[in-house]
Structure 1
């Protein structure tokens, strides 16, 4: 058996076309192909087959948890969309730094190949998504608790953010120290994951949670707390806190106005 090497550069479109052509040739047995391009295409196909199911499980589990903690339909959807926006910016930074080689002297020396290992964005995505949703569950939960007391969205958002701010800062500081410690390693794959997730945590802590989340909740007003009556009745069985307090009931009965 004679091994044949190809002329196109690995990962290029020409190499992928050549690989597909070789595999499509009629033969008494499947053609055995190897190399970086074959490994990349096979790994891509395997990962993409399982990716939809993994995303559905992660998103549904996240939405369910946020729904129980916030007792709202709007807040879980808002959290998912904001996290996707945050992760999009983070992956843009990954490409800019590691694939294009910009400002690489800031994160340590490494060889710029113009490509990114397929598995690294997947790993970074699920790690960053998990950390960001951890923050996203904590902040709306605090805001919901304040809203149960005040029935004022603006005041509840301010109180919830104040209550969670110190915990956000301490938690983010610990995570950033750990990730930046991993970022100084000479293993490029670990460096990419650590820097990408660290950027996501920093963006969450500095921009998303203290600025974007309160701004969106302020604009949404009463829509933050909208929930169909059938869902509210079922949710009360799992979360007794959905029942209004005696103070709130008395306030409602006396005709006191409540701002959104």
Structure 2
């Protein structure tokens, strides 16, 4: 049982849906980002997705691309991202952290070394956007052997033929991308998402969490009603990019989390 498994088990026992928040590690700088990350659990966040800055974030829209650029310009690295997770762990040993990013920085460090370092830093799961199931031997299988969940994305274009392949080595939860396209591009509609979530849940016992296109507490609640929880990234990152204080960012996060928890 990982922290992710424990979290979903606890939420289920309490009849609650999950709220997952994404922030970019090191945006706009290390200290500010760490302050926000440390404040997320008290704001109602059940699982933290920590973005790993990368120079070519092909699945991300302008908001998260710019966050990655700001973080990189401020000197953020893979090592500093792991340091941030380790620092967070000094005060919180229960909230799961999922590292979300691209394979290149992991490959550059070396898979074995990266997995040992990630585990030591208190990372619980990985979402690696550019590694398809056909490459599971590359990172997915070793990650699970190291005790890390490997979380896969399903999308509106993941048909019934493709779905079993996507699910075969996935653990922790399934991340359903509610729209076709990049992050922050459109609004998620519960009426469209519900049937897709039901289709995925018919094929797996894993929780299905929905992200992309959720920007308000009302939408967070609506999406959480038809899934096991909601993920918000771009709307939070936008506030950080606009220079809002950590306190104001966390107040916004709390409104989104309250929405999901009302579902």
Structure with bigger gyration radius: 1
Q: For this structure pair, what is the TM-score category when the shorter chain's length is used for normalisation? A: under 0.3
Which of the pair is proportionally richer in helix? 1
TM-score (normalizing by structure 2): 0.24
Pick 1 or 2: higher relative contact order, CA cutoff 8 A, min separation 6. 2
